């Protein structure tokens, strides 16, 4: 079953009912570099990304999506900005901690630091 590379959320009946979608990494290199900067900035390793790795829609702001023929689609220039810290594979449910990263207006390098805004989700 596919799961999110960042938070481990699985594609199942619950995520479908919550309208959570899963998205592949972009093929355009300049957008892919921004996705990689987001991953590195959140202490994840690029070498763990596989060909079929996905990121769930919870990591994108609502403005990152468009609706086309009743389907919600990720815009081609969208970059993940929300980190969700959650306990993976727990038998009980824990609250999630969402952090929205604020991207600097200048070009993003893999060593740039990202500012975060914390939001507790219950």
Give domain limits for the chain. Answer: 13-121
What's the whole-number mean pLDDT along residues 115-120?
50
pLDDT surpassing 90 at residue 25: yes
pLDDT band at 108 (very low <50, low <70, confident <90, very high): very low
SS (H, E, C) the chain: CCEECCCCCECCHHHHHCCCCEEECCCCHHHHHHHHHHHHHCCCCHHHCCCCCEEEHHHCCHHHEEEECCEEEECCCCCCCEEEECCCCCCCCCCEEEEEEECCCCCCCCCCCCEEEEEEEC
pLDDT tens readout for residues 34-73? 999 999 988 889 999 999 999 999 999 999 999 999 888 9
pLDDT tens readout for residues 64-107? 999 999 888 999 999 999 988 765 555 555 556 666 766 554 44
């Amino acid at each position: 079953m596919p799961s999110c590379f960042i938070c481990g959320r699985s594609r199942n009946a619950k995520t479908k009912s919550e309208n959570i979608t899963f998205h592949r990494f972009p093929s355009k290199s300049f957008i892919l570099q921004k996705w990689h900067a987001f991953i590195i900035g959140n202490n994840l390793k690029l070498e763990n990304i596989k060909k079929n790795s996905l990121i769930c829609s919870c990591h994108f702001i609502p403005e990152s999506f468009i609706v086309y023929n009743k389907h919600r689609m990720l815009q081609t220039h969208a970059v993940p900005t929300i980190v969700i810290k959650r306990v993976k594979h727990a038998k009980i449910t824990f609250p999630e901690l969402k952090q929205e990263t604020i991207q600097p207006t200048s070009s993003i390098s893999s060593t740039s630091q990202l500012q975060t805004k914390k939001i507790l989700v219950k």
